[in-house]
Amino acid sequence: MIVEIPEEQLLELQRQAELGRLLAGVAHEFSAPAGSILSNRDLCLRLLDRIEKSISDSATARTVELLTVARELARVDQIAAERISHLVRNLKVASRVADPEPQRANVNEIVESAVQLGKTQFRDRITLETALGTLPEVECYPHLLIQAVLNLVVNAGQAIEGTGRITVGTQLEGDMVHIWVSDTGRGIRDEDQPKVLKQGFTTKPVGVGTGLGLMMVRRAVIDDHGGSIAFESQWGHGTTFHIRIPLQQKRKGVE
């Protein structure tokens, strides 16, 4: 059976593929410099130790002060480089080429990666919190799952005008994993709620959203993982999206 894919959807899929390649390239370019900074930081600390020992008897108060400042700068460099390395790991997960078979993965780590990437979008304007339950390893497509959660986080942030809060949580429900993304944004009007999960629908201003983000989430969760997606919302009081995926994926051709 031949299925015709709308041109708008094809363009979005192409954009997603190009974005994945871009993210992979960015991650690669950042990885080496971050490693170099951490390596140089360790070398600088060892040199500072040697300097301190060599002048231990004749060091003035000013010299001691300078050594202390140098150590503090090295500590700040370490924090910055470790943050870059962490973001690089998250980018690599998000940009991975599709695996032909599902992989066993830690869903909480996938959610954490999506949250960390989301933080780069909103800075201090929005507080992102997690409420992660204890989960077993889950059979899934990690790159698709992180993109789905990240899409929900970005949508939640765009629904918040000014400051606000997003909470992302997980919990085990029988043979399913439940992931939810809750925001304190504007919410969705009652008359718009039946249309939210339909392709191309968006309540965002022109240039902010295409309405394809939730379609991508829906396809990743339902079509690729055999899961479900639902939401609850109250106008003026925020929205919570719920996605659920099974602990184990069905193999193609197996009922």
Domains of the chain, residue spans? 7-94, 103-246
Mean model confidence pLDDT for the chain: 77
- Of 7-16, 168-177, 194-203, give the lowest mean pLDDT range: 7-16
Query: What is the percent of the chain where pLDDT is above 90?
Result: 27
Lowest mean per-residue pLDDT among 98-102, 136-140, 146-150, 165-169? 98-102
Strand order from edge to edge, sheet including 238-246: 126-132, 164-173, 176-183, 238-246, 228-234
Residues 6+ positions from 77 with CB-CB distance below 8 Å: 37, 41
CB burial class (10 A; 0-12, 13-18, 19+) of residue 193? middle
Which range among 25-34, 36-45, 113-122, 128-137 has the greatest average pLDDT? 128-137
Interatomic CA distance for residues 24 and 210, integer angstroms = 24
Q: Name the CATH topology of 103-246.
A: Heat Shock Protein 90 (3.30.565)
9 — pLDDT class (breaks 50, 70, 90) = low
The answer to whether the CB of 197 falls within 8 A of the CB of 242 is no
In which residue are the tokens 């899409």 written?
Answer: 151
**What's the pTM?**
0.63
Mean pLDDT of 50-67: 77
Single-letter residue type at 120: T
The tokens describing 131, both together, are 């409420």
DSSP state of 185: S
* Residue labelled with tokens 């020992």: 53
Q: What is the rounded average pLDDT of the residues 236-246?
A: 94
**Which pLDDT does position 139 carry in this prediction?**
93
Q: What is the pLDDT of residue 41?
A: 75
**Residue 252: pLDDT above 80?**
no
Average pLDDT estimate for 206-214: 52
pLDDT at 21: 54
Check residue 205 and give its pLDDT.
47
User: pLDDT of 42-58, one tens digit each?
Assistant: 778 888 888 877 777 67
Mean pLDDT in residue range 217-233:
91
